[in-house]
Amino acid sequence: MRSAPFTRVPLTAEIPKLGYWKSQIKCQAACPVHTDARGYVRAIADGDDETAYLIARGPNPLASICGRVCGAPCESECRRGDIDRPVSIRALKRYVCERFGPEARAGRADGLVEFLRSAAASRRGHAAQDAEELLPLLRATLEGEIPLATGRSVGIVGSGPAGLAAAHDLAILGFKVTIYEMEPVLAGMLALGIPQYRLPREVIRAEVAVIEALGVRAVTSCAVGRDVSLAELRERHDAVVIAVGAKRSRGLPIPGGDAKGVLGGVEFLRDVALGETTGLGREIVVIGGGNVAFDVGRSVLRQTSIDAARTALRAADDAVVHLCSLESLDDMPADDVEIIEGDEEGIRRHNSLGPVEITTDGQGRVAGVVFRRCLRVFDDQGRFSPEYDDDDRTTIACDTVLLAIGQAADLSFVDAERDGLELDARGLLVCDPVTGRTSAGDVFVAGDLAYGPKLLIHAVASGKRIAREIYETLTGNAIRFEDVELHLALPEYRREPGYERLKRVPLGAIDAAERVRAHDATVELGYDEPAARREASRCLDCGVNTIFDGSKCILCGGCVDVCPSECLRIVSAARLASSNGLGGLLDRVLGRRPRTEASAILKDETQCIRCALCAERCPTGAITMERFTFEEVPRCPIA
């Protein structure tokens, strides 16, 4: 029997174009505000922490807060993670913010503002400045290239990350900005939803003070709909931004869901943050499996520990906290560190349980929760479609139930007919999720309210975008960006010895027994200088690329032989698929000659560690190490 002839699968490749080089800096591409994480990480590795701070702060007015609690999509995409583990980008941001950010300036928020203005005026910058960057925008306003919106005012409802980011950029663009916050403190869920042990309140206050130093006015304990109407705000201001976020816990539609002792997790966190009575019992069930559920459960441990210590009953009357999640341990949406630290602190975790009923006693108070076993949460297409075993039931006795199964926004202050705003079937404002524009020309929506719950850094990006939309709407001037891109040769390019073998430097934490004694005992310890330098040196510096000059290449194969990660191959051009524009390019280069007469060097970017051994080995100088730089320079062409 004759076997079928062997057929080689065509190889696919991409021709590097302008956007290709930007996409190679994966951490920056993944960040919603396009922070050049590689830039500040490499600056730390080089010992230039001040420049590192300018880069970290560049597009992000809440950099110090993000250094503590950002979801860090940059780390998820970090190319180092393809080799071993991602660079600890968020912790390195915290490192430089603690040295040069507002929290390091002893209450001198105006000092940081002057520092940033000075950096903008002196054109201090870095290699990859995106359109979101502060310094080019600030410089353009200082030099008159972008006219200030003098005499125009904007009211912002809500002082969470979206509202603060919008206020920051609007103030820089020359608007008079007033924030209206219903709570007695600013920062929304940053201050009332994220526990102090994760985000110290002095960091929040320092960050907010910088925004106020730009001229932003804040009115606290002012609820729109109670103290002032939306219509009045629209009379006072040229535009209004609604950035109220999702601050209400979703209820649980099961029997007993409204019993005495059933509390919202978000409302509980607010009460803790403001020092108000929480109404906790001694046997608590937290329902939920995300980060908020762990924030709630871990805060319960601290609150009950404090309460017990106050009444001298701690040893005999410790509270028990059960955290019950629909998901299995592997599928829980909470971050791994939250799960690990929650376990260390004594949370009793129960996975794959779905609540069926909350039982009550004779007075209508919570007595327990009945659960059934959840076999799987998602169907084969990844859609939420839980399946249960109704015969496998568990009852957990308790006197308090805290719900952390989702959040909703409160828009009771909006009257659709009166305000000329369109609401959808869920009662949410209809808007363009990118621009924030609504059916009313002077009302914009930012943050979770515009696109649904996402990360803190997404809210910051939303606030910044809305600021530009308002500027264009009210002034008639559109901010456009001139893209300048360069590759700079690095003839002396070198890397730290052994950088490719360095393991991720772990972050320390205080002892679990110490954590639960106070809400403000910060759990995660930051890097000291040696640890930060070592961790930063793990960065592969993805802005540096190997550039090949085909006119000099003699196809000796030396680069392929020396490559430690085997990311280079020399193949016949006949093996290349004619996709991604390759077919046309080969036809232009080869003319009528067959593809078998040409060869191509292919590079697997996912494997390259930027070691430069290929460039050192090349006998003809056909390979060079070059740094890709770009700046999206803001311009405002006035008609």
pLDDT band at residue 482 using 50, 70 and 90 as cut-offs: confident
Q: For residue range 368-396, what is the model confidence (pLDDT) as tens digits?
A: 999 999 999 999 888 999 999 999 999 99
Residue 589 pLDDT > 90, yes or no?
Answer: no
CATH architecture of 248-406: 3-Layer(bba) Sandwich (3.50)
pLDDT band at residue 590 using 50, 70 and 90 as cut-offs: confident
Q: Where are the alpha helices (DSSP H) in 188-290?
A: 189-192, 201-213, 230-236, 265-273
Residue 313 pLDDT > 50, yes or no?
Answer: no
**Tell me, what amino acid is at 119?**
A
- Please give the structure tokens belonging to residue 497: 């010895």
- Cβ neighbours for 197, distance < 8 A, ≥ 6 positions apart: 298, 302, 515, 519, 520, 521, 522, 523
List 239's β-bridge partners, or say none: 154
Mean pLDDT is lowest, of 214-223, 228-237, 630-639, for: 630-639
DSSP state of 334: S
Q: What is the pLDDT of residue 207?
A: 97
Q: What is the pLDDT of residue 136?
A: 87
pLDDT band at residue 403 using 50, 70 and 90 as cut-offs: very high
Q: What is the pLDDT of residue 574?
A: 86
Residue 2 pLDDT > 90, yes or no?
Answer: no
Q: For residue range 173-211, what is the model confidence (pLDDT) as tens digits?
A: 999 999 999 999 999 999 999 999 999 999 999 999 999
- Percentage of the chain modeled with pLDDT above 70: 96
* Residues 116-140, mean pLDDT to the nearest whole number: 82
The class of domain 148-247+409-476 in CATH terms is alpha beta
Q: What is the pLDDT of residue 577?
A: 83
SS3 state at 563: coil
Residue 220 pLDDT > 60, yes or no?
Answer: yes
Distance CA(264)–CA(204), nearest Å, equals 24
pLDDT band at residue 14 using 50, 70 and 90 as cut-offs: confident
Residue 417 burial (10 A CB sphere; 0-12, 13-18, 19+): exposed
Mean pLDDT of the chain: 92
Q: What is the pLDDT of residue 592?
A: 76
Q: For residue range 52-109, what is the model confidence (pLDDT) as tens digits?
A: 999 999 999 999 999 999 999 999 999 999 999 999 999 999 999 999 999 998 778 9
Q: What is the pLDDT of residue 315?
A: 46
Q: Supply the pTM of this predicted model.
A: 0.93
Residue 581's Cβ-side half-sphere holds a number of Cα atoms within 13 Å equal to: 4
Beta carbons of 452 and 426 less than 8 angstroms apart = no
Which option is the CATH number for 544-635: 3.40.50.720, 3.40.50.300, 3.30.70.20, 3.40.190.10?
3.30.70.20
Residue 475 pLDDT > 80, yes or no?
Answer: yes
pLDDT band at residue 4 using 50, 70 and 90 as cut-offs: low
Instruction: Return the higher-pLDDT residue of 18 and 381.
Output: 381
Q: What is the pLDDT of residue 3?
A: 52
Same fold, 148-247+409-476 and 248-406: yes
Instruction: Return the higher-pLDDT residue of 426 and 265.
Output: 265
Q: Sketch the domain layout of the chain as residue ranges.
A: 16-147+491-541, 148-247+409-476, 248-406, 544-635
Query: Which residue is it, tokens 């403000």?
Result: 520
CATH number for region 16-147+491-541:
1.10.1060
DSSP state of 507: P
- Cβ neighbours for 465, distance < 8 A, ≥ 6 positions apart: 434, 435, 436
Mean pLDDT is lowest, of 53-57, 142-146, 153-157, 506-510, for: 142-146
Q: What is the pLDDT of residue 314?
A: 45
- Percentage of the chain modeled with pLDDT above 90: 75
Strands 248-249 and 384-397: unpaired
Residue 498 pLDDT > 50, yes or no?
Answer: yes
SS3 state at 203: helix
The DSSP element (H or E) to which 154 belongs, if any, is: strand 153-157
Distance CA(483)–CA(290), nearest Å, equals 40
Select from 511, 532, 544 the least CA-distant residue to 623: 544
Q: What are phi and psi of 519, to 5 degrees?
A: -70, -30
